[in-house]
């Protein structure tokens, strides 16, 4: 039996993950202005040539690092508005309170000005918005929210509250928050729904 030879060695997923980790950490530390292939290679413990065998440039590298390491907000359907919003808030806290939090914040500030990354980040943002709005609309359809409730204001309050809590938590307490994002998410949702919701079935 014969096989068709392939050019070069197969890529090592572990090396790819290590490079993605180094790339996102460097971006978090320095922003786009300080992001360089050589520095990523040094942080990842690989040769610069290894990066150029995988990526055409730093835009492609950062895009892949974001895809691999930065969690996306996903639609969830637990059966209740309360449960869905807790999951949504917990996902936001996981992103901004976890080890990718600084990179996520940098992206929110700089992504629009980075060629290639801007389009990818905008796709992520649209996906996040669609998932969040779907959650609230299901709550309205089930009668858990009045139809006069502003979907935009509710989500701005919830997501903004989750982000600000993650970003303003003192460094010595960030580990505690990262271990209990669901707990804070539940408290945040309880407070918010207490102000705007009709009685919620739990």
Domains held by the chain: number: 2
- Asked whether residue 6 is domain-assigned, the answer is no
Give whole-number Cα distances, 102 to 70, 97, 109, 140, 147, in Å: 11, 9, 11, 34, 37
Q: Residue 20: which domain range?
A: 13-68
- Bridge partners (DSSP) of residue 62 are none
**Which positions of the chain have pLDDT values less than 50?**
1-9, 200-202
State the pLDDT at residue 71: 75
Rounded-to-integer distance, Cα 86 and Cα 65, Å: 27
State the pLDDT at residue 83: 95
State the pLDDT at residue 2: 36
State the pLDDT at residue 10: 57
**Nearest Cα to 168, choosing from 101, 69, 107, 115?**
101
Q: Are 57 and 48 in contact (CB under 8 A)?
A: no
- Asked whether residue 2 is domain-assigned, the answer is no
123 and 44 in one domain?
no
How many other CB atoms are there within 10 angstroms of residue 57's CB atom?
12
Cα 164 to chain center, whole Å?
15
State the pLDDT at residue 198: 54
109 and 143 in one domain?
yes
State the pLDDT at residue 19: 93
Cα 114 to chain center, whole Å?
18
- Asked whether residue 40 is domain-assigned, the answer is yes
- Asked whether residue 22 is domain-assigned, the answer is yes
Say which residues have a Cβ less than 8 Å from residue 15's Cβ, sequence separation at least 6.
Answer: 44, 46, 50
State the pLDDT at residue 7: 42
Rounded-to-integer distance, Cα 41 and Cα 60, Å: 14
Q: Are 47 and 38 in contact (CB under 8 A)?
A: no
* Residue entry with tokens 């935009």: 152
State the pLDDT at residue 197: 60
């Amino acid at each position: 039996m014969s096989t068709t030879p392939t050019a070069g060695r197969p890529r090592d997923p572990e090396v790819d993950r290590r490079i993605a980790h180094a790339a996102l950490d460097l971006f978090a530390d320095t922003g786009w202005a300080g992001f360089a292939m050589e520095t990523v290679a040094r942080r990842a413990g690989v040769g610069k040539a290894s990066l150029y065998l995988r990526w055409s440039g730093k835009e492609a590298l950062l895009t892949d690092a974001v895809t691999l390491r930065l969690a996306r907000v996903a639609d969830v359907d637990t059966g209740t508005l309360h449960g869905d919003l807790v999951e949504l808030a917990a996902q936001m806290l996981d992103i901004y309170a976890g080890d990718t939090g600084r990179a996520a914040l940098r992206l929110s500030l700089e992504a629009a000005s980075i060629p290639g990354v801007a389009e990818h980040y905008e796709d992520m943002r649209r996906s996040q918005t669609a998932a969040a709005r779907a959650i609230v609309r299901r709550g309205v359809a089930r009668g858990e929210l009045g139809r006069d409730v502003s979907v935009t204001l509710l989500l701005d309050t919830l997501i903004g509250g989750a982000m600000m809590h993650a970003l303003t938590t003192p460094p010595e307490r960030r580990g505690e928050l990262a271990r209990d994002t669901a707990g804070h998410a539940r408290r945040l949702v309880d407070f918010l729904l207490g102000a705007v919701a009709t009685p919620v079935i739990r």
